[in-house]
Structure 1
Amino acid sequence: MSIIITLCYNMKVENKGVLSVSEFNELINVYLSTMGEVNVKGEISQFRISQNKWIFLTIKDNAATVEVFGTIYNISNHRELEEGMVVQIIGTPRLYQKSGRFSIFANQISPSGTGALALAFEKLKQRLEKEGLFDPNRKRQLPEFPERIGLITAKGSRAYSDFAKILLERMGGLKIYFYPVSVQGADSTQSIIRAFTYFNQNNLNLDLLVLTRGGGNLEDLVSFNDEAVVRAVFTSKIPVVCAVGHEEDISLSDLAADLRASTPSNAAELIVRQRSELLTHIQSQARLIELGLNDIISESKRRVFQSISQLKNHVDQYLFRMQKHIVNFTNQYANFKHKLVLKSQQLETLIRILQNLDYRNLLAKGYSIAYTKDKKILRSKSQLKSNENMYTIVADGKIHSTVIKIE
C-alpha cells in the first residue's frame, strides 16, 4: 500500500496539485493497475450478454455491489451463469475513463459454494451430453501395450507419485512425457489446456494421455468441470485417460475421456497390466500354442503315415499288376519263341523243297532245258520243224542249234 500512496503522491506533484477529470480517472486507473488481479466473491444480481460477445453482470453482498465486464472468449462457462448464483471473479479492477465507472474486467468467473457449483455442473453436463461429448460410442480403445505416455498433473503432487509408482511397479520400460500444470486456482484451466495443445501439436508419437489429480470438493475440481477443459479432452487426437479425485468424485472431464479411472493409482492399473500377470498370460498362451503345434504335428504325422501307407498300397498293387504283366509277357514271349522255332523249321523245310525244285540244281546234275525259237520250253517234237533254230540251257550256259532231222 505504501508504494501505491507514493505513486499517487508523485503524480499529484507532477500535476502540481490540480487534476482534470480525465487525469484524475487516469490516475485512479494507474493506482488500480498496481493492484494486479483480484479475487472477489459475490452473488450475481444482474446478468446479460451483449452482441454475443460482451458479458455484463453485477455482483453483490449484503452491503455493496460491483459491476463486472468480460468477453465470452475468456469466460468459457458463461452459459452456466445465472442471476442468484454465487461466483468468484478473478480479474483486474479498472475505471472507465470517459464515464468514471468502476468495474472489474473478468478473466475468470467460477461458481462458488456447493450449491452454485452443483447447479453449474448439472447445467453444463446436460448441454454437453446433448452435444454428444459423453457418448460411449465415440470412445476409443486404448492400446493394449502402451509404450509412450503423456502425463498431465501438478508437479510434485501425490497424484504424480502414485501414478508413477504403480506404473513402474506393474510394468517397466515405459517412457513418460510429463507436462506440469496447475490443477486448481486462477491459471489452472488455461494451464491444462496448454498441456493438451502441446501434446496434440508436437509429434511425440504418444499412445495415450493421462489427466489426473488428487481428490477434492467441487470447488477444488472446478477446472476439470470447465467447458474449455472438457472440450480439450474431447477433441484430443490422442486417447485420454482421466483420473480426477477419489472413487466418488466424477468430473465432466472424466465423462468426456476415452477411459475414466477412479484414482491416479487406478489409472496406472488400467493402462498397463501387471508384469507377473502378463508373464503368466504369455506362458499360458505359449502352452496353448505348444499344445496346438503338437496337435498339428500329430495330425500331420498321421496324415503323412496314412499317405505313406496309401502310397505303399498303390505301389504294391502296381508292382503286382506289373508282375502279372511280366509273367503274361514272358509266357507270350515263350509261346512266340516256340512258334518262331516252328516257323523257322517250316521255313527251312520249304527252303529245302524250293532248293530241290530249283532248275539250276537239276541243270547242275546234268539235266538241260530246250527252248524253241519262240522261247517256249520244248515239250514235244511237234513243236519243231526241220531247219528251225532252238537253244538249250545247261548248267554253265546256252547252246544254240538248228534242227536237222526229226524222227
Structure 2
Amino acid sequence: MDPSSTAHVEADALLDAGVPATASQTSAERPWPLRRLSENLKLHIERAPATWIEGQLIEYKNNRGNVYMTMRDLEEEYSLPVTAWRNVAVTFEGTVQQGSRVVARVKPNFWTKAGRLSMVVQEMRPVGLGDLLARVELLRRRLGEEGLLDPARKRPLPLLPGLVGLITGRDSDAKKDVLRNAQLRWPAVRFEVREVAVQGPEAPRQVAAALADLDADPAVDVIVIARGGGALEEVVLPFSDEALVRAVAAARTPVVSAIGHEADRPVLDDVADVRASTPTDAAKRIVPDAAQEAAGIAEARRRLAAAVERRVQREGEGLAQLRSRPVLADPVVMVDGREQDLHAWRERARRATAHRLTRERDAVEHLVARVRALSPQQTLDRGYAVVQQEGRLIRDAAQVAPGEDVDILVASGRISAEVTAVRPGRVGGPGTVQDEDEQAGTKEQA
C-alpha cells in the first residue's frame, strides 16, 4: 500500500472518531461531514439494479463522443436526463436520434465531488415499428379475452341524433369532412366539437379527456373520433393506447371511430360501437340523407296510394259480384218466395187448427152428454122425484111417518104433500111398490 494512502486512511479514521454511525444519530453538535453523506449516498444509490425503461428522446446532444439525452414518458409529463458514455454511444450507429422511441437499460450513478445524480445508459435500442405493432396485437388479444371486443356490447347509433360530439385535430381536414358531409346530408344537424392533438405522445390523453367531457353531456347522442390518413405510427399507435380504448369501451354514449387508415386498424376501431373507414364515411353513418329520406317517403306514399287503389278496386269487384247474384239483382224474388211459404204455413196452421177444434168440440159434446146423463135433472126428467123433509133427503120410507109433511122435487117444480101411509122395503123387491107395479103390468099383459 502507498504510504500516502495509508496516511490518508489513518487520517480519515482519526477524523471519523466520535462521528455518528447513522444519519438518525446526527445532531447540530455532532454532524456528519459532507464527504460522509456523499459517500453514503453513493453506496446506497448504486445498490439499485439496472432497469429497463421506455420513453421518447426529446433531447439528444453528442459531446466528444459522450451523448447527453432527456427521455420523456409516453403518457404523462415525466422526464429524466440520461447519459451514454463513449463506449456505449458508439453502439447506437445512427439508429437513435431526437424524437426516437427507445428502450434503455439504465443504472443510477452519484458523483460525490459535485453531489450530482445521473442515469448512465448501459444499453439502448430503438423501439421498431414491428415491436409496436406486436404490442398492439397483444393488447387487442387481451381486450378480446376480456370481452371488450364482443359485438354484443356494441350499441346502435340513434336514427337522428340531436347533438353530435366530434373529437378531431385542430382545423383538420377530417373535421371539415365530417361537418361538411353531415350538413349536406342533414342540414339541421348540430355539432359539439373538441379539437385535440391527434398524433404524438399527447394525443391519447387529450382524446380521452375530450371523450370524458362529451360523454358527460346528456345532450350529446353520439361521439365521433375522427382523424385523416397519415403514417402508420401516427395513426395506429396513438389510437391503440390502452387507456384510451378502455375509456371508449366504458363510455355511455355510442362512439364512432373514423380513423382514416385502411392498411392497419387501430384497436379503437375494434372497441368503438361503429367503425367508419374515413371521416366522410362517419358523416354518412351518423345522420340520414334528407334527400334519400324524402325520396323514401314519396315512394312509400306512392306505394300506399297504389295499395289503397288496388284494395278499393278489389272490393268494388267483390261488390259487383255480390250484386250480380239473383237475390241481389231482384230482391223481390226472395220476398215473394218467403210470402208464398208464409201463406202455405198459414193455411196449414188454419187447417190444423180447424181440425183440432172440430175434434175437441166432438169430445166436449160427448163429455157433456155423459155429464148430462149422470146429472140428477136427467133422472128427474125420466119421471123420478126427490123427497125431502126439512131439507133432509129421504132415502128410506122408514124415515117418515104418516101425517108428516114432505117436499117432493120433480122434473119441473116442487110438491108439498102429507104422508098418509108408509110401506118400507127396497124398490123392485118382492112386496115393494115396484114389485106390485110389475105384477100389475104382467096381469094387464096377460
Q: TM-score range by the shorter chain?
A: 0.5 to 0.7
Selected match of 2:418 from 401, 404, 407: 401
Instruction: Give the partner amino acid of 2:190.
Output: K
SS at match of 1:220: helix
Q: Cα gap change, 1:355/1:377 in structure 2, threshold over 3 Å: closer, same or farther?
A: same
Q: Distance in 2 between matches of 1:385 and 1:47?
A: 164
State the Cα deviation string for residues 364-387 of structure 1 (Å, max 9, x = none). Answer: xxx884759992488xxxx99995
Match of 2:21 in 1: none
Instruction: Give the partner amino acid of 1:334.
Output: A
Selected match of 1:100 from 92, 116, 119: 116
- 2:214 paired with 1:196: no
Q: Cα gap change, 1:372/1:68 in structure 2, threshold over 3 Å: closer, same or farther?
A: closer
Instruction: Give the partner amino acid of 1:218.
Output: L
Match of 1:218 in 2: 232
Match of 1:10 in 2: none
- 2:249 paired with 1:234: yes
State the Cα deviation string for residues 63-100 of structure 1 (Å, max 9, x = none). Answer: 44346577797389xxxxxx98777379xxxx999942
SS at match of 2:177: helix
> 2:61, 2:68 within 8 Å by CA — same for their partners in 1?
no
Selected match of 2:172 from 136, 157, 160: 157
Q: Distance in 1 between matches of 2:96 and 2:152?
A: 35
- 2:284 paired with 1:269: yes
Task: Give the 5 Å matches for 1:1-40.
Answer: none
Selected match of 2:76 from 68, 74, 81: 74
Q: Cα gap change, 1:219/1:370 in structure 2, threshold over 3 Å: closer, same or farther?
A: closer
Match of 2:142 in 1: 130
Q: Cα gap change, 1:208/1:333 in structure 2, threshold over 3 Å: closer, same or farther?
A: same
Task: Specify which structure has the bigger relative contact order, considering alpha-carbon pairs within 8 angstroms and separated by 6 or more residues.
Answer: 1
Q: Distance in 2 between matches of 1:246 and 1:280?
A: 33
Q: Distance in 2 between matches of 1:213 and 1:195?
A: 14
SS at match of 2:232: coil
Q: Cα gap change, 1:296/1:72 in structure 2, threshold over 3 Å: closer, same or farther?
A: same
- Point out the structure with max Rg over C-alpha: 2
Q: Distance in 2 between matches of 1:177 and 1:242?
A: 16
Q: Cα gap change, 1:240/1:124 in structure 2, threshold over 3 Å: closer, same or farther?
A: same
Equivalent pairs, count: 325
Match of 1:65 in 2: 67
Alpha-carbon deviation of 1:192?
0.8
Instruction: Give the partner amino acid of 1:125.
Output: E
Instruction: Give the partner amino acid of 1:267.
Output: A
Q: TM-score, normalised by structure 1?
A: 0.59
> 1:244, 1:263 within 8 Å by CA — same for their partners in 2?
yes
Q: Cα gap change, 1:85/1:376 in structure 2, threshold over 3 Å: closer, same or farther?
A: farther
Selected match of 2:99 from 74, 88, 93: 88
State the Cα deviation string for residues 324-374 of structure 1 (Å, max 9, x = none). Answer: 766554432222233345456667777888899546668xxxx88475999
Q: Distance in 2 between matches of 1:329 and 1:146?
A: 82
Alpha-carbon deviation of 1:267?
1.0
> 2:140, 2:267 within 8 Å by CA — same for their partners in 1?
no
- Percentage of matched positions with identical amino acids: 22
Q: Cα gap change, 1:213/1:292 in structure 2, threshold over 3 Å: closer, same or farther?
A: same
Q: Cα gap change, 1:135/1:339 in structure 2, threshold over 3 Å: closer, same or farther?
A: closer
Q: Cα gap change, 1:48/1:159 in structure 2, threshold over 3 Å: closer, same or farther?
A: same
Q: TM-score, normalised by structure 2?
A: 0.54
Q: Distance in 2 between matches of 1:197 and 1:290?
A: 49
Q: Distance in 2 between matches of 1:202 and 1:372?
A: 127
Match of 1:338 in 2: 358
Alpha-carbon deviation of 1:300?
9.2
| Structure 1 gaps, min length 5 | 1-20, 22-45, 50-54, 77-82, 105-110
- 2:203 paired with 1:179: no
Instruction: Give the partner amino acid of 2:418.
Output: S
> 1:385, 1:403 within 8 Å by CA — same for their partners in 2?
no
Match of 1:121 in 2: 133
State the Cα RMSD in Å: 5.4
Task: Give the 5 Å matches for 1:252-331.
Answer: 252-286=267-301, 323=342, 328-331=348-351
Alpha-carbon deviation of 1:305?
11
Q: Distance in 1 between matches of 2:380 and 2:317?
A: 83
> 2:55, 2:74 within 8 Å by CA — same for their partners in 1?
no
Instruction: Give the partner amino acid of 2:290.
Output: R
Instruction: Give the partner amino acid of 1:258.
Output: D
Instruction: Give the partner amino acid of 1:122.
Output: A
Q: Distance in 1 between matches of 2:372 and 2:422?
A: 40
| Structure 2 gaps, min length 5 | 1-33, 35-49, 79-91, 102-108, 329-333, 424-435, 437-446
Q: Distance in 2 between matches of 1:303 and 1:398?
A: 96
State the Cα deviation string for residues 86-117 of structure 1 (Å, max 9, x = none). Answer: 77379xxxx9999423579xxxxxx98xx834
